[in-house]
Amino acid sequence: MTDQSLSPTRPPATPPATAQSTTTQPPNTTVAPTASASAAKTATAVDDFRRNLASVRARITAAAHAAGRDPAEIRLLPVSKTVPEDRLRAAHSAGITQMAENKVQEAKRKAANLADLGIHWALIGHLQTNKAKDVAAFADEFQALDSLRVAEALDRRLQAVGRSLDVYVQVNSSGEASKFGLEPDAVAGFLAALPVYSSLRVRGLMTLAAHTDDAARIRECFRLMRSLRDAGLQAGTVGDGQLSMGMSGDFELAIAGGSTCVRVGQAIFGARPAPDPRYWPDNSAQ
Ligand SMILES: *Cc1c(COP(=O)(O)O)cnc(C)c1O
C-alpha cells in the first residue's frame, strides 16, 4: 500500500503549532499519552488540517529516528470516523487521500458522497457477514478480519463483482474483553486457512493495544504483535507482514514496536465528542 500524497517528503505547510502543546510526554517515559490528551483542537479549515498533519508527521519522523527506523516505512492512515463530510473535504484539500472508518454504514455514505475526491477507504471496524456486500462494493481495504465466516462472505461478494481486497487480520493483543480480534494463539491457524479466499490479499496484522496509560503494558501488546507477525512471515502466511498498530495516544510506542501503519484520528481531526463505546465500554474509558 503506497502512501500517495501523504509522503513524508511533502514539506509541512506551517510549523507544528497547536498539537505541540499536547505532546508534553517525551517518548520513552513509563507513561503513555492518553488518547484524549493527544487530541488536537478540532480541525475545520484546510490550514488546521495542514498544521495537525505536519505535527503528526513530525512526531512519526521523530519516533522512527529514535527507533533507528526509516520514517518512510510508516504509513499514516487518518481515521475520519464521526467527522462530517464538509470537514473531510477540507482534510482532503490539505492532502489527506486515505481515510479510515469503523462503521460500514457511515463509510458507505461518505464514500458515495465524496466519490469525486477519489479517496482510498479503509474499514477498520468489526464487520458482520450481512454487510460484506457493501464492503466488497466500496472499500479499498479491510483491517479488522477476525472470522472465517466474514472471510468467506467477503470473498464470495468480491468474486461476484470481480474485485479483490487488502485485508489485515485483527488480533486482540491486550486480552481486554471489550476488544474484537483473534486470540493470539489462534492467529497462526487462522492465517493458514485464508489462502482459499483468493480475492483477499492478506497484508498483515492489526491491533488496538491495551487502553491504559501504562506504557509497559502497551509495549507488551506491540511486542506480541511483532512476534505473531514474524511467525507468519516464517510460515509465509501473512503477506508482506505489515503491522497496523498505534493510534493518537500510543503511536510513538507503536513505531518503536515495529508498526508500519499508524491509524490516527484525534491528533489530526480533533477530539471526538465521546469515547468510543465500541472499543472501550463503560468503566474502561479514561
Ligand atoms: C478510532 C480508531 C482509531 C483512531 O483513534 P484516535 O484516538 O482517534 O487516534 C484507530 N483504530 C481504530 C480501530 C479505531 O476505531
CB-ligand 1 contact for 77 (6 Å cutoff): no
What is the pTM assigned to this prediction?
0.86
Number of other residues whose CB lies within 10 A of the CB of residue 2? 8
- Contact (CB, 8 A) for 142 and 154: yes
If one residue of 102, 172, 268, 269 were mutated to test the ligand 1 pocket, choosing by the most ligand atoms within 8 A of its CB, it would be 102
Please, what is the average pLDDT of the chain?
88
Distance from the alpha carbon of residue 264 to the mean position of ligand 1, in angstroms? 6
Closest ligand 1 atom to residue 35 Cα is 7
Res. 11 pLDDT band, cuts 50 70 90: very low
Residue 162 Cα to ligand 1 middle (Å)? 30
Task: Give the pLDDT score at 282.
Answer: 41
Domain 29-270 top-level CATH class: alpha beta
Report yes or no: 203 and 242 within 8 Å, Cβ to Cβ.
yes
- To 10 degrees, what angle do helices 46-66 and 85-93 make? 60
- β-pairing verdict for 120-123 and 141-145: parallel
For residue 208, give the nearest of 235, 181, 241 by alpha carbon. Answer: 181
pLDDT at 33: 61
Q: Whose CA is nearest to atom 15 of ligand 1?
A: 102
Q: What is the pLDDT of residues 244-276, one digit of tens each?
A: 999 999 999 999 999 999 999 999 999 998 766
pLDDT score of 233: 98
pLDDT at position 37:
64
Cβ–ligand 1 distance for 263 under 6 Å, the answer yes
102 in contact with ligand 1, CB cutoff 6 A: yes
User: Distance between CA 40 and CA 48 in Å, rounded?
Assistant: 9
Quick one: what percent of the chain has pLDDT higher than 70?
Answer: 83
CA distance 285 to 68: 33
> Distance from the CA of 126 to the center of ligand 1, in angstroms?
13
Q: Which atom of ligand 1 is nearest to the CA of 206?
A: 13
Mutation test of ligand 1: which of 34, 36, 77, 79 has the most ligand atoms closer than 8 Å to its C-beta? 79
> Quick check: CB of 79 below 6 Å from ligand 1?
yes
Q: How far apart are the first and last CA of the chain?
A: 33
Return the pLDDT at 38. Answer: 81
Q: Which residue has the higher pLDDT, 84 or 6?
A: 84
Percent of the residues in the chain that have a pLDDT greater than 90, as a whole number = 80
- Strand 120-123 to strand 98-101: parallel, antiparallel, or no bridges (unpaired)? parallel
pLDDT in tens, 199-222: 999 999 999 999 999 999 999 999
pLDDT tens digit sequence for 51-102: 999 999 999 999 999 999 999 999 999 999 999 999 999 999 999 999 999 9
Q: CA angle, corner 30, sides to 27 and 31, nearest 5?
A: 80
- Could you tell me if residue 39 is left (phi over 0), alpha (psi between -120 and 50 degrees) or otherwise beta? beta
Domain limits of the chain? 29-270
